[in-house]
Amino acid sequence: MNYLIALCSSLPSGKQTSADLLSHALWHMEGLGLQVRERTGFYVSPAQPSGAGPDYVNAVVNVHADHEPHAVRERLDRIEAALDRAEGRRGQPRMVDLDLLACGAQILPDELTVRRWMALSEDERREAPVDTLVLPHPGLHRRGFVLVPLAELAPDWRHPVTGQSTTEMLSALPAEAVAGVGPLGRIEQTDKRDVAE
């Protein structure tokens, strides 16, 4: 199965930059059976609200895995723990955050639940208890820091609930949702292997 995964970091660790941490996350993915097929460049995006913390470094990857979505989510949780994700409320600065965006056209657990989560504001979603995996990610259609790199990787991917393409979702965002989001550099794995094949 093919998965779209968003990578994010905003807390450098010692001599490692946020980009270094995301490169390590890619290395861990390969070790856990998540084969990176395509990747975007790194993008920088400002913390929200402005001045709330360091800038974020973001990227999106397309991985292939012989695992069901819940098993992939569990592997992403293990990678976050291995890279010492800062504990606390969702949406806060963290060393590494890995979001499972989509698995093809799968809708989990069901369309009604996905639509309910999509209708929540970012603040409401941060406060809501997470007791089930929701796919596609309920916030991806509103997040410039996700849609900008996703448009590089998969501009024609269609949201299985709304039917909109990545490009259409990005075009529908207000200007402030993409303000300050721009390229930082190219993702490179720690061992420098080419995983784009």
pLDDT in tens, 55-102: 899 999 999 999 999 999 999 999 998 887 544 445 555 689 999 999
Instruction: Decide if 160 is inside a domain.
Output: yes
Instruction: Decide if 41 is inside a domain.
Output: yes
Domain harbouring 57, CATH code: 3.30.70.560
Count structural domains, the chain: 1
- What gap in Å lies between CA 99 and CA 82, rounded to an integer? 16
What are the start-end ranges of the E strands in the chain? 2-9, 35-39, 41-45, 56-64, 97-102, 182-186
- Over range 36-56, report the average pLDDT: 86
- What gap in Å lies between CA 29 and CA 6, rounded to an integer? 12
Report the DSSP beta bridge partners of residue 39. 61
Instruction: Decide if 40 is inside a domain.
Output: yes
Q: What is the pLDDT of residue 77?
A: 93
Distance, first Cα to last Cα, the chain: 16
Q: Which residue has the higher pLDDT, 115 or 54?
A: 115
Of the candidates 171, 193, 155, the residue with the CA atom closest to the CA atom of residue 29: 193
Question: Which tokens is 27 given?
Answer: 């290395």
Instruction: Decide if 84 is inside a domain.
Output: yes
Q: What is the pLDDT of residue 83?
A: 85
Instruction: Decide if 191 is inside a domain.
Output: no
Residue 152's domain comprises 2-186
Residue 132 has pLDDT above 50, yes or no: yes
What tens digit of pLDDT does each residue of 156-187 get?
A: 999 999 999 999 999 999 999 999 999 985 44
Instruction: Decide if 192 is inside a domain.
Output: no
Instruction: Decide if 193 is inside a domain.
Output: no
Q: What is the pLDDT of residue 85?
A: 53
Q: Model's pTM, two decimal places? A: 0.86
What are the backbone angles phi and psi of residue 69, rounded to the nearest 5°? Answer: -55, -40
Instruction: Decide if 48 is inside a domain.
Output: yes
